[in-house]
Structure 1
Amino acid sequence: MPRVHERSSAPRGLLAFTGAVPGSRRALRDDALFAAGLAVLSGLLAAFVDDGRRPGLLGWSLLLCAHVPLAWRRGHPLLVLLAVVACVAPYHAVDYTHMAAVPVGMVALYTVAVSGRPRRALITGLLVVGITLTVNASVAPHQVADVLRISGWVVSVLLLGVYVRIHRQYVTSVLERAERAERTREEEARRRVAEERLRVARDLHDLLAHSITLVGVQTSVAAHVLAADPERLDRAAVAKALDDIADTCRSARGELRATLHVLRAGTADEPRGPLPGLDGLADLAEAARTSGAEVELAVREAQAPPAVGAAAYRIVQEALTNAVRHGGPGLTVQVRIHASDAALRVTVTDDGTAAVAPSHTPGFGLVGMRERARSVGGTLEAGPREGGGFTVSAVLPLASVGSAGFAGGGLQ
């Protein structure tokens, strides 16, 4: 069935007892059946009520023709009212049974009132009542009292239609507000899920990338010791390299277990345990030293909220991971943390000889560090140094705008 546009500003289902769209085939069918039933009622009134002449052929024809336009009352309420009046007016003028023509006229008036603005209903009522009173006062003055009584019914029907329209508009607006609120809740839920997924991805990247890089470097050290001089094998050096690998694996396994525990626990509002902070930087530096790098760590007057400390921890962790991975042999890394101007300043500088080339497709490390900084309202800059090596510099406000946010250190 082709899509039919509503011809009225009234909401769907407002013009009739069914929810069919005005102008649709269903609406035409429903209104035709309704008009037929109303015609039967009018015929019974004409046959059994004695308040005028019994309708003859002309009377029955006018009465039947008055009901036919009701099939299109939803799409064209004013035209239907005019057509009904054109048939009912001569019916009343010939003094046929007046009660028989009342239902069809009232339905036409109700449709005009319920489908349009109150102003239109008011104008329609004034015209109908005014014309009826004027005609009857000039033709049959003795029936003015009856006309006034009928006019009261006309006004009542119009008021009923206006009330029904306003009430249904109110109900529709309430339902629309409820739907908008539900859509807002769904969008908020989707946004939180997306933020949580991003936070989990960032945490897993920080954990696994750091641990896997250290394991790879430590494995290379062990392999080098084994292959350097098999006749004079340095068992202590091999044992230390293997112990470092085992320690790194245990640490990674513990952090991964804690992360999975939080994911299994359910909502993001549940306790996650302590966030990593500035007190964990010494462990990061020691882990980087086991890979052969020389790490100088300086933390001066640094006190930070948990979220800011966690962001600084993750930035240093990722910077050390990149330095160990790309810095080459004989690497020296300087980590400086200090607070000034209501901000925590984090600087990680290395003198590596194998910095990432500009044409190299970046991974998620630099992106993750920038997201960490932004999550607490800070900024981060990273790039190669003029004399070789790489520098990561972050400024993290101590009065963090995102201290309770998802990205402040997340899963542990």
Structure 2
Amino acid sequence: MDEQGVSGGGPPWWNRWGDQERAARWPWRSTVLVTAFVLAGSNFAARQQVDERADLDVFARVLLVVAAGLLLWRHRHPVVVVFGTAAATMLYLGAGYPYGPVFVTFALGCFSAIAAGHRKAAWTALGLLWTGHVLVAHWLYQWLPPSGDEAASWGSEGVVAAWGVAIVALAELARTRREQWARERAERAQAARRRADEVRLRMARELHDVLAHSISVINVQAGVGLALLDSDPEQARTALTTIKAASKEALGEVRQVLDTLRTPGDAPRAPAPGLDRLPELVEQAASAGLTVEIEGRAPELAPGTDLAAFRIVQEALTNVVRHSGSRHARVHLAHDDRTTLRLRIDDDGPATGADAGGSGNGLAGMRERAAALGGTIEAGPRRDGGFRVLAVLPLTVKEDR
């Protein structure tokens, strides 16, 4: 899957802003732009408040540069920055300098602190700044410049408080949205990994079913060929011919399975096997010395159900060849009210305890196939001897095939 498709979500600039790598970089450009804006805006504000506030002097400009310059550390030390900008802003206002863009520096520091998860620090800094402004505007103004200043109206304090709360609320909203985007990215990545795991499991199960059956036939015929090589060369030749045919078929099916790993959207080169290939299974089983009797007939199935049913029968017959002393098996197919397909595979036993090179995952693979379709598998010894595999699969009539 495309990496960009997994990690997408939210504006690209926001994702980069929130990355840990960005926190390790210095935000020079934005800090310089903010500093220039604050200085220019404060000069303009000073001209508008000539008779109301103190004139901008060197100390005022130093405070403005310090307040804006602190933003250079906002990604590395957000708590220090939010309290530092609050202190610089408070000194600026306490000295009677004009109201203006100095509040922008504190707003950005507060925003950075909340985005970094330091909510308490941001709210505390806001509370201290507002408290300091109230003290200056209603009590300390008598001893602070400019001379002849009067107490501010309490209505203006409400505006200041509302402004501060709006900044914090906006930062909280932005952080919430950012966390939501992060969760969405994580969920998409997890879904992509889950889909990849499902594909790998399906491939492993398919390869197991393809190879286990063919290799079991090859194993049996190889034993026959070795046993009869000297006493009955013609029969040994027949066994080798069967081995050649089984290996050719296995190679073809493996190639078909591996074709699914090609570029998405490519059509399979050959149709997936289904119950219409049961006669081939019967012939292969016969070449391994197993007689198979087919009872009943399945209806037309959807491709997924058809493939699962075929692989279940194939694996069950493979297990008979490997582990049963019986040379006769029965496959019974039935369907109930066009809603359920029932597959029953019986052999008369007894179990030989022999191992024909299997992996031991056959029954687990059958159960996974059935469960993927919402069906069930029951497997175990019968009361009268032998072994039975019973598969119940939801039946889907082949309408959109």
Say whether the 8 Å CA contact 2:210–2:254 is kept in structure 1. Answer: yes
What code does the residue aligned with 1:378 have? Answer: G
Q: Following the alignment from structure 2 to structure 1, what is the Cα–Cα distance between the partners of residues 191 and 219?
A: 41
- Indicate whether 1:257 and 2:255 are aligned: yes
The change in CA–CA distance for 1:381 and 1:276 in structure 2 (over 3 A counts) is same
Q: How does 1:22-33 map to 2 (within 5 A)?
A: none
What is residue 137 of structure 2 aligned with on the other side?
Answer: 132
What secondary structure sits across from 1:354 in the alignment?
coil
The correspondence of residues 174-323 of structure 1 with structure 2, limited to 5 A, is 174-228=177-231, 235=234, 237-263=235-261, 265-267=262-264, 271=268, 273-323=270-320
Name the SS of the counterpart of 1:392 in structure 2. strand
Which residue of 370, 374, 377 corresponds with 1:373? 370
Is the CA contact 1:110–1:157 (under 8 Å) kept in the aligned structure 2?
Answer: no
Gaps of 5+ in 1: 1-13, 22-29, 55-59, 92-97, 405-412
TM score, norm. by length of structure 1: 0.63
> Structure 1 residues 51, 213: CA separation in 2 closer, same or farther (over 3 Å shift)?
closer
**Partner Cα distance (1:227, 1:208) in 2:** 29
Spell out, residue by residue over 1:44-99, the C-alpha distance to the aligned partner (whole angstroms, 9 max, x if none). x9xxx998999xxxxx99xx99x99999994597899799979986x7xxxxxx43
SS of alignment partner, residue 300 of structure 1 = coil
What is the distance in 2 between the residues matched to 1:294 and 1:271?
A: 33
Label 1:189 to 1:136 Cα distance change in 2 as closer, same or farther (>3 A): closer
Q: Which residue of 2 aligns with 1:173?
A: 176
Question: Of the candidates 318, 339, 343, which is equivalent to residue 335 of structure 2?
Answer: 339
Q: Percent of pairs identical after alignment? A: 34
Tell me how far 1:239 sits from its aligned partner.
3.7
Aligned amino acid, residue 190 of structure 2: E
Q: Is the 8 A contact 1:304 1:344 kept in 2?
A: no
Matching residue's letter, 1:335: V
What is the identity, as a one-letter code, of the residue corresponding to 2:335?
A
Across the two proteins, how many residue pairs are aligned to each other? 350
Q: Is the 8 A contact 1:355 1:390 kept in 2?
A: no
Letter matched to residue 238 of structure 2:
K
Map 1:10-21 to 2 at 5 A.
none
Gaps of 5+ in 2: 1-16, 25-30, 71-76, 114-118
Over alpha carbons, which structure has the higher Rg? 1
For the residues of structure 2 that align with 1:50 and 1:305, how far apart are their CA atoms?
Answer: 86
Other structure's SS at 1:345 match:
strand
Provide the rounded CA distance (Å) in 1 between the counterparts of 2:244 and 2:90: 97
Deviations 1:19-65 (A, max 9, x none): 979xxxxxxxx9xxx9xx99xx99xx9xxx998999xxxxx99xx99
Whole-Å Cα distance in 2 between the matches of residues 251 and 293 of structure 1? 19
Larger mean Cα displacement after TM superposition, 189-198 or 161-170:
161-170
Distance 2:393 2:367 in 1: 11
Q: CA deviation at 1:190?
A: 0.9
The normalised TM-score by structure 2 is 0.65
Helix, strand or coil for the counterpart of 2:296?
strand
